[in-house]
Amino acid sequence: MHVLYPGSFDPPTLGHVHVMERASRLFKKVTVFVAMNPEKASWCTVEEREEMLRRIAARWRNVAVSSGQGLLAEHAAALKADAILKGLRGPADLEMEHQMASVNHLLCGMETLFMVAHEGYAHTSSSLVRQVLRLGGEIRPFVPEEVLPLIAGKR
């Protein structure tokens, strides 16, 4: 099975990496997809996020990286993904994810699979990383090594 794992990844966190790692073992192919979230202004450019994800994805032979604007369901169908994969940090994530899964199914018949965060990853988010960095804190507990050179100069 080929799954499309979409997100803002602004920046990628250890929580995202853990989903990628588990998905790489479960599925034949995983495409990590940088998508636009119309509700969020972006911090890193799409190119920066793709570069960070490419460096991370180099850990596994069956994980690729792509990006695109517009409807995710259409990209998933065009890339011949069998399903969309989303991570769930907790029940709060499910409300919006349930809606998105329904819309994506209505749009393209695309199914969404959910992978729950393991203990230790449920509290990590990209917005938390941005906030810690802005306030001068240490972000190494939350992000993979590969992202550090690309976000070092950012606040």
Active site residues: 16, 40, 89, 126
CA dist 128 → 123, 140, 154 (Å) = 9, 12, 14
CA dist 125 → 3, 15, 113 (Å) = 22, 7, 20
By the rule CB under 6 A, 37 interacts with ligand PNS: yes
By the rule CB under 6 A, 94 interacts with ligand PNS: no
Which tokens belong to 40? 């969020």
Q: Determine the interface stretch with ligand PNS among 6-14, 52-60, 132-140, 146-154 (rule: CB under 6 A).
A: 6-14
By the rule CB under 6 A, 112 interacts with ligand PNS: no
Question: In the chain, at which residue ranges do the beta strands (DSSP E only) sit?
Answer: 2-7, 29-35, 63-68, 83-88, 111-116
Work out which of 3, 4, 7, 121 binds ligand PNS, going by CB under 6 A: 7
At residue 10, φ and ψ (nearest 5 deg) are -120, 65
By the rule CB under 6 A, 71 interacts with ligand PNS: yes
Number of residues that bind ligand PNS (CB under 6 A): 12
Residues at the site binding ligand PNS, with contacts judged by CB under 6 A: 6-8, 35-37, 40, 71-72, 100, 103-104
